[in-house]
Chains A and B, each alone.
Chain A
């Protein structure tokens, strides 16, 4: 891969929450040593449980770094039109200049983006009129053309958000996020609150727009099934670190990290009646992460070294990276999925 096709390069990013409550200092190590790159025209999935730090990571990617979240180290460099822009160091005006025009978001609750007292048409003006820099008539025509591409009637422009169904609103937010034809879109659990049927339609739409525009999408969700259907490459985040990253197919068929293997093996599927294991324990507190590999307290194959040293993300053939000391060993599935205290856990 040549460097020029990477639209986003994250290098050794470390971002913590630093808080002070009545004198009690607290540090939450939400993003720890994250290095990743997103190529042009791909969907990059980020999977992780609650409090895995994935939300903090995309806050940084979206240039929404507000105290108490602080970037301590590393860089987040976008390359729009060939100009590098490190948002951890850029001035506010530089970030404003790319926001929505080049870098946009689709968020979980569509209602948080859609101002309830404005018609959809006005909301489009609020967000996209200035970045697009068109005359009013041309702007209106461009928005309508874009809505048509997403199978939305031009009539929705005159509706208020509450007049639309949940699925329709989510489609409008997708239209809103993509109307400026941004190169980079961050999607934060955009389908989590939706019903299964609507979810599939929304996912199909995101994929369709992404391919039509040739944009890159960073797609964040804890739902592995969603990643299986939409992501080209997938990063598994555990306790603030990327533990494995690979093309989606590899994650689902040839994962090396015990956490990933567990996640994939425990997915229930229609037509499959074999018993599914579950993982004992809880994700560690990011305020006091365990030493060494952060997964070791729950890992069925942890060795002494895992308790002391932090495994680095190692390159494997086929764009595959794994952070595990035992990734090279051929460990049978039975051992990885072995249950510590009987079937009950």
Chain B
């Protein structure tokens, strides 16, 4: 596994750039653990200071040091994106493999549910949750709700792979070797869908973070939790651009764009690397 990583870094430009970008953002967010300031406290420093040697990212109109504030914001946002990706991957793997391998009624029922989730309008429902839960809506609950919407497309993709695997001879061989359906799905078939799982996880993070930012900017999330979205919400609330505190908006936007770019490059390069055809060729098949 390590040698694969090393080869990818060395020979795949996209992967290397993606690792550097995402790695830098992750490091940045980890700095929050040594932060000298409380991210929820306001007016701890002089407001509206431009970036300088003392305040690297400047300070905002609420008297917060943006550098340290954004470390928390990125930590929460990345954790959120990762949770959504993880949870929705679990659902999409379970549904996709079961629908594809078991077929018949299981498939029909699961795909019916799947299509309902595809058809549901995500955004209004998230807003509805906000109105119902209000301040009870923490990052984890939001992640859970978003995960419920983030799986159906990928479940279909996984199902199509599982359908193909079902008719391969080795699956029939496994049945006659006495393997149970669960064992066949999660031991024989899962390795084949892992490439899809990885590649779609990146895309899913981009989607969920983007949606969180949108919701937060519009004020439909708990605005007291520092995230990239709420940082922009407060900036907008204080008319940061109008009063000339541009760094309050530009810095988080640049950082989130770099994050997206990094995730996208990782998704693309992994997709290429994990393509089963090239993988089988490397294995000498």
Contact = CB atoms under 8 A, between A and B. Distances in A.
B280 to A, nearest CB: 12
A138 B223 CA distance: 81
Contacts of A287: 284
Chain A's interface: helix, strand, loop or mixed, by majority? loop
Find the residue from A22, A23, A285, A287 having the highest chain B CB count within 10 A: A22
A23 B284 CA distance: 16
A24 B7 CA distance: 9
B10 A24 contact: no
B7 A22 contact: yes
B10 A21 contact: no
A50 to B, nearest CB: 12
B76 to A, nearest CB: 35
Considering residues A21, A285, A287, which has the most beta carbons from chain B within 10 angstroms of its beta carbon? A21
Contacts of B12: 22
A23 B282 contact: no
Contacts of B11: 22-23
Nearest to A19: B281
Interface residues of A, number: 6
B284 A21 contact: no
Interface string A1-32: 00000000000000000000111100000000
A21 B10 CA distance: 12
Contacts of A21: 278, 281-282
Interface of A: 21-24, 285, 287
Interface residues of B, number: 10
Interface string B3-14: 000011011100
Contacts of B282: 21, 24
A117 to B, nearest CB: 24
Interface in B257-285: 273, 278, 281-282, 284
13 contacts: A21-B278, A21-B282, A22-B7, A22-B8, A22-B10, A22-B11, A22-B12, A22-B273, A23-B7, A23-B10, A23-B11, A24-B7, A287-B284
A24 B278 CA distance: 13
Closest 10 CB pairs of A and B: A23-B11, A22-B11, A22-B7, A21-B282, A23-B7, A23-B10, A22-B12, A22-B8, A21-B278, A22-B273
Nearest to B7: A22
Nearest to B12: A22
Interface in B1-57: 7-8, 10-12
Interface string B155-192: 00000000000000000000000000000000000000
